[in-house]
Structure 1
Amino acid sequence: MTTLSRRVLDAVPHPLRAAVQRLLGELVRVQIFDRAMTLAAQAFTSLFPLVIMIGALSGSAARDRLTDLIRLPADSTRLVQDALGGSRSGAFGVLGSLIVVLSATGLARALARAYRATWSVAGRRAGPADTGWQIGTVLLVVLFLIGVRLLVHLTDLLPAAGVAGVVVTLLADCGLAVLLPRVLLGPVVPRDRLLLGGLLFGLIMLGVRAAGAIYLPRALQSSTERYGTIGLAFTYIGWLYVLSFCLLLSAILAVVLADRLPRWFVRSDPAAGP
């Protein structure tokens, strides 16, 4: 145990010390910092080409709507519009679109490896069916990114727009964190860990989204003014790292807290894994 870990444990009340010690051990075992960086890099190289492809295939009106839903600062919006506007549907034929989608499965495979390491489950067997689930996972994430923005935009029409927006994003974040491991690994994930991980991720994201609403537009604006497109890319990778870290942290917390749940909540199927 490192000196930092000992200091953390010494500052924790004794009744919680065992749980915190296990949490620290799980963070080290899963290698959360390295895996979060891997997920951030994979997300950047997987999701952005898909967004550009969707924008290129959807026409100018849909591209404008897409950048409006993303709500970037003026300079950043211009860069994204240039990227989308420079891509034409002719550049994305059937073969080109297939290559982009298959390349994006790197994110799904990285997620599957992270979940298998976190929850110590086998997951799905490799094969064509597994590739299909990976493609579905990536498309699910893209749909989530666009759909949440659209839903939040629609909640602006409601009387209590702020509250409705928070509820929508909370439910969407919880749903995503539950669906991702379920789609990637199949039914082997224990129910307690799956539901706990989704709930914890949604709660964590309440604070992260609030901080991001203040930090991210300013960081994008500043990095774009200083470094142009490369600054925009680095800022997004940094933010994706934060999101990836939160996703893995919620899964690890679910492992630690699952043992303290009432036994009726824990899935009893021995095939579901430990």
Structure 2
Amino acid sequence: MASCVQIEIFDRSMTIAAQFFTSVFPILILFATWASSVDSTRIAEAVRLPEESRSVLDQALQTSGGATFGVVGAVVVLTSATSLSRALTRAFAAVWKLPRPRSSLRSAWRWLAVVVSFALSLVLVRAVSGSATALPPGNVWQRVVGFASDLTLMLYVPWLLLTGAVRIRRLMPAALVFATLMLAVRPASAAWLPRALEGSADRYGSIGVAFTYLAWLYVVAFCILLAAVVGQVIAADPGWVGRRIRGESVAASPAAVGDV
């Protein structure tokens, strides 16, 4: 609880949720305009876009072309999308009590890789999960795919953003906590989000859909930060569990607990 207060988890969750909305969705549209195999239907299904708002996505893709998403347009979209990576970097650095990271062009590829990974995971995980349902029992394999993807993503993202300052084995508790949380969040969002989006689209149009997505992304961002905090506390625990995670001998002194 002290760590949650220290990193201002509620404020940071809203900031990261807004960055998700303004970073990941434009990249999905950018990919759809470039890849003929990715159509608006697949993107709409990945983000559970209601029928009332799919026409907006169709118009965006139809009017997007070389003039809109040329080299310059793509650079602008990708550059602005890296704000999500920078926000996550600051959050993870605060969780692990690392020095405030400095922005530099040498880190740009890391920021871009993280944002692209988030965007691709929305489409790829849904596609793989759909194929997994064909294997009995379908629900079990679907959850296995989701758990594995969430675990991998939350190992990869902080390790890359923090430039390897925190080892993978110390990131494992946070990744496990996040993947476990998402086992409950994914079915709940699958049941609530489509109905909420439909209701918001009927009442308020596209702006209602945007606010509903922000509410959903806030929950996801909160789970990311909460898992990171819990994982850091577990990894820094002075007991045998923490020492085993850090790779220290059982007889190691607890004085090194504060080390990252």
TM-score (norm 1): 0.84
Q: Does 1:103 align with 2:83?
A: no
Q: 1:61 to 1:263 in 2, by over 3 A?
A: closer
- The aligned amino acid for 2:219 is V
**Distance (whole Å) between structure 1 residues aligned to residue 118 and residue 186 of structure 2:** 17
CA apart distance, 1:135: 0.8
1:135-165 CA-partner distances (Å, limit 9, x unpaired): 1111111111111111111112222211100
Partner of 1:34: 11
- Consecutive unaligned residues of structure 1, counting only runs of 5 or more, are 1-23
Partner of 1:266: 246
CA apart distance, 1:77: 3.1
Residues 56-95 of structure 1: matches in 2 within 5 Å? 56-59=33-36, 62-95=39-72
Q: Does 1:236 align with 2:216?
A: no
Structure showing the higher helix proportion among its residues? 1
CA apart distance, 1:200: 0.2
Greater mean alpha carbon deviation, residues 114-123 or residues 246-255: 114-123
- The aligned amino acid for 1:119 is W
CA contact (8 A) 1:189 1:273 kept: no
- Consecutive unaligned residues of structure 2, counting only runs of 5 or more, are 249-255
CA contact (8 A) 2:154 2:175 kept: yes
User: What value does the CA root-mean-square deviation take over the aligned residues?
Assistant: 2.1
- Specify which of 16, 23, 28 is matched with residue 51 of structure 1: 28
- The aligned amino acid for 1:215 is W
**Distance (whole Å) between structure 2 residues aligned to residue 71 and residue 238 of structure 1:** 14
**Distance (whole Å) between structure 2 residues aligned to residue 247 and residue 210 of structure 1:** 17
Q: 1:114 to 1:254 in 2, by over 3 A?
A: same
Q: Percent identity?
A: 39
CA contact (8 A) 1:200 1:250 kept: yes
Please state whether the residue corresponding to 1:120 is helix, strand or coil. Answer: coil
1:12-70 CA-partner distances (Å, limit 9, x unpaired): xxxxxxxxxxxx21111010000000001111111111111112222486333332444
**Distance (whole Å) between structure 1 residues aligned to residue 150 and residue 70 of structure 2:** 33
CA contact (8 A) 1:191 1:267 kept: no
State the aligned residue count: 249
